[in-house]
Amino acid sequence: MVTILDGKSVSEKRLELLKEAIGESGLYPRLATVIAGSDPASQMYVRMKHRACERVGIGSVGIEVPGDATTDKVLEAVSRLNRDPDINGILVQLPLPGRVDTERVIAAVDTGKDVDGFHPTSLGLLMSGRPRFAPCTPKGIMTLLAEYHIPVAGARAVVAGRSIDVGRPMAALLTNADATVTICHSKTRNLAAELRQADILVSATGKAHFITPEMVKPGAVVIDVGINQLNGKLVGDVDFEAVKEVASAITPVPGGVGPMTIATLMENTFAAAVMRTP
């Protein structure tokens, strides 16, 4: 019987625990989001993050920069938040409009407030095995694996995708947890054969129903990061109905990795507030 890795209910449990921890701490952590432009998906993600903040007792501030803003305007907003002692976490919602230099903006975030974990310093610490803030999606996946007692040490893990927000930090976290890790991407030769090696397969390609049963080792744990539209429906990278017949455990889309990402952002924001406390 396949286990459905229920990110929704695990994230609910984590948020409840976090709410208690924040209450007991006497702290009032605050998260600021920066959004540029009016991309509906980005607006929806930011709204969901603000709602989660409210639920656990984290204050939230939303900074909206016009879609035609320059890099300098976005940098100004980040710099104000860096200086604001009442703000513990800064999240710049990506993607930024094309004319904005995303790398400069990410590098401008105070590393002590980098709750998204995309700053080169945060990624460097993660790579060196001493993470401070790890990116929320892969860190949330590690939490989900731990909650279901899925052994990672010694497992062969294969990650499809090498972005800085998901694929690369996922590989680093799995390596730090003693998995043997392969990263695949669009230039990987014989991808199916690589993926079939995986005890833990993480797909973050952004290609709807890309992962089929032939690519999955029987009994593998399959983690689906993808959020894709297919015939007007939200689906993952994994052909869920077919792959659940061969996997031992699998995340659904929606209700798998997505809610874990948001819960982890809340946990990172509280951690940032604790770090700031003398």
Active site residues: 49, 93, 116
Per-residue contact flags (x/-) with ligand NDP for residues 92 to 131, judged by CB under 6 A: ----------------------------------------
- Determine contact, residues 135/118, Cβ cutoff 8 Å: yes
Place of tokens 């016009």: 66
Binding segment for ligand NDP among 8-16, 104-112, 151-159, 178-186 (CB under 6 A)? 178-186
Residue 169 CB, shortest distance to ligand NDP, in Å, is 10
- Determine contact, residues 67/40, Cβ cutoff 8 Å: no
187 contributes a contact to ligand NDP by CB under 6 A? yes
Closest alpha carbon to 66 in 79, 80, 76, 53: 76
162 contributes a contact to ligand NDP by CB under 6 A? yes
Gap between the Cα atoms of 29 and 210, Å rounded: 40
Helix residue ranges per DSSP H, the chain: 7-25, 40-56, 71-83, 102-108, 120-127, 136-147, 167-176, 191-195, 240-243, 257-276
Residue 225 CB, shortest distance to ligand NDP, in Å, is 4
Q: Report the residue number, 29 or 167, with the smaller CB distance to ligand NDP.
A: 167
Q: State which of residues 206, 209, 271, 276 lies at the interface with ligand NDP (CB under 6 A).
A: 206
Q: State which of residues 115, 142, 174, 257 lies at the interface with ligand NDP (CB under 6 A).
A: 257
Binding segment for ligand NDP among 32-40, 103-111, 161-169, 241-249 (CB under 6 A)? 161-169
Gap between the Cα atoms of 137 and 171, Å rounded: 12
Residue 45 CB, shortest distance to ligand NDP, in Å, is 8
Q: Report the residue number, 130 or 229, with the smaller CB distance to ligand NDP.
A: 229
Q: For the chain, give the number of residues.
A: 278
Gap between the Cα atoms of 105 and 95, Å rounded: 11
Q: State which of residues 166, 174, 200, 223 lies at the interface with ligand NDP (CB under 6 A).
A: 166
Q: b or e along 110-148 (b: 16 or more beta carbons within 10 Å of the residue's beta carbon)?
A: bbbbbbbbbbeebbebbeeeebbbbbbbbbbbbbbbebe
Q: State which of residues 8, 196, 207, 276 lies at the interface with ligand NDP (CB under 6 A).
A: 207
Q: ∠ CA 138-224-153 to the nearest 5 degrees? A: 55
Cis check for the bond before 95: say yes or no (omega within 30 of 0). yes
Q: Hey, what are 228's tokens?
A: 């894709």
Per-residue contact flags (x/-) with ligand NDP for residues 209 to 248, judged by CB under 6 A: ----------------xxxx--------------------
For ligand NDP, the binding residues in 125-154 under the rule CB under 6 A are: 137
Residues of the shown chain interacting with ligand NDP in the complex, contacts defined by CB under 6 A = 137, 160-163, 165-167, 184-188, 191, 204-207, 225-228, 257-258, 261
